[in-house]
Structure 1
């Protein structure tokens, strides 16, 4: 079966729900509008489902020039509209992993809504085009930039890789546990591990290295509950551990511009050395 782009996702707010697209524009930091917003705590440190599993309850729905945040367990919390871009009225420095970058504040009502939804004081901030946050330097010869994503602009996963994993689980899991941007059909399970350069339609990407997986994969994205036996991470660890890290999917970099669509052909241009 020929390789084909089968799904496209953006996550406008890091660690919240995604939006499924039929086509996506490519910017210098990845897919347009992907993880440009971030939730930070009182100390201006980034928040994710790793520490705050309740973030899984916050779903993101497309809206004109922005998106709606909705709490899937609390209908009394009216949906919150957030624009795709903020304005530089207030700024602050925030910490994400080892990086400290300046960010623009959202409207006060966004902070209030999120603090109520998550049961703790927090703030919503935006990464402007003026911010420089680089991909990991040891894997970044071309000086690629990244948004508030963990470390790379894109995450690629094959549908057959998930299908293989699900054959090993007592209860299959959905692709949303792994938060990919690019999902393709066709090929053998885990074939993406071997790719170096590949094209989606006419746009060339580079698979940099396998993605290390964490406790977030064990959180049910509908209920916000962690699996009592740490699945699927436990099963993944039994056959996908390399150098002490559990691997699933590929971290990817790409060009500064372009357009890709679901249904585009995927072609592998080169493979990683053995």
Structure 2
């Protein structure tokens, strides 16, 4: 079995469109430049494409001094990264509250782009936000990603999922694009769903813990090119990939080799694996196995 990296993607602004990369540096909290920016409302609570679908149509690009943003029907805008002395606000993302720097000049543009009041913040100190201690270590950190530094998805698993969709009542919604799952790394060459059992892997020169399966939400039902919704893949995952009342696709990673560079074409080596009968690593697996992955 020869597994290789076929795609690397980062998301400069949480919930917005991603960037395809040939290579990337792995930092303790994710790929360099990944989800260090976030859209928030007037109260500082994160705004997500789960609710504001038009965020998926905002295309950020990292430039030397900040970001360039484009969106349908609007002129591009350049946003400088906040510097020393910038206004700071407390922002909330899920159960985390962290201090972030407020970007200047983006609010009106973002509000028009997504149709609701919005502000843009920058996580200039990425050491502030801890990961869920149930599935990771006290020193692990994450940017503005939902829960963990990286997400790995398998092309072989997506092909298997597409076959299930094609055989079901919503066949016209397939095949599905990998971009709707928003992975950091895409790999190919392993049997479908084999990533469920991975516990430690090496990608090129970087080692990662596979700390948890990824429970999927309504955001995967949105076409990332149009922001229009459907019922897949959740409908099919609910029939074939349902555990603990949730549906599962892809796995979350925490890096143990920060500073390493990974590239498309790198080999992937499975260093440790669990029982495939367990399905994706999740809370009930941890309880049953005594948190073996820590």
1:120 maps to what in 2?
116
Cα deviations by residue, 1:32-63 (Å, 9 ceiling, x for unpaired): 01000000011110011111111111123454
Measured on the aligned residues, the alpha-carbon RMSD in Å equals 1.5
2:198 maps to what in 1?
195
* C-alpha distance in structure 2 between counterparts of 1:250 and 1:98, whole Å: 21
Give the 3-state SS of the residue equivalent to 2:265 in structure 1.
coil
Query: Which blocks of at least 5 consecutive residues in structure 1 are unaligned?
Result: none
2:130 to 95, 118, 134: 134
Higher mean Cα deviation, 95-104 or 131-140? 131-140
Task: Give 1:269 deviation, angstroms.
Answer: 0.5
**Does 1:250 find its partner at 2:251?**
yes
Provide the aligned length of Structure 1 versus Structure 2.
267
Going from structure 1 to structure 2, the CA distance change for 1:176 and 1:122 (only over 3 Å counts) comes to same
2:274 maps to what in 1?
272
* C-alpha distance in structure 2 between counterparts of 1:130 and 1:199, whole Å: 24
Going from structure 1 to structure 2, the CA distance change for 1:216 and 1:130 (only over 3 Å counts) comes to closer
1:98 maps to what in 2?
95
2:15 maps to what in 1?
15
* C-alpha distance in structure 2 between counterparts of 1:264 and 1:101, whole Å: 35
User: Does the CA contact (< 8 Å) of 1:101 and 1:131 recur in 2?
Assistant: no
**Does 1:79 find its partner at 2:76?**
yes
**What does residue range 1-274 of structure 1 map to in structure 2 within 5 Å?**
1-71=1-71, 73-74=72-73, 77-83=74-80, 85-88=81-84, 89-107=86-104, 109-129=105-125, 131-141=127-137, 143-169=139-165, 170=171, 171-227=174-230, 230-255=231-256, 256-273=258-275
Structure 1 length-normalised TM = 0.93
Higher mean Cα deviation, 181-190 or 252-261? 252-261
Task: Give 1:130 deviation, angstroms.
Answer: 6.0
* C-alpha distance in structure 2 between counterparts of 1:4 and 1:102, whole Å: 38
User: Does the CA contact (< 8 Å) of 2:33 and 2:62 recur in 1?
Assistant: no
Structure 2 length-normalised TM = 0.87
User: Does the CA contact (< 8 Å) of 1:19 and 1:62 recur in 2?
Assistant: no
User: Does the CA contact (< 8 Å) of 2:12 and 2:62 recur in 1?
Assistant: no
* C-alpha distance in structure 1 between counterparts of 2:65 and 2:42, whole Å: 29
Give the 3-state SS of the residue equivalent to 1:56 in structure 2.
helix
User: Does the CA contact (< 8 Å) of 2:154 and 2:192 recur in 1?
Assistant: yes
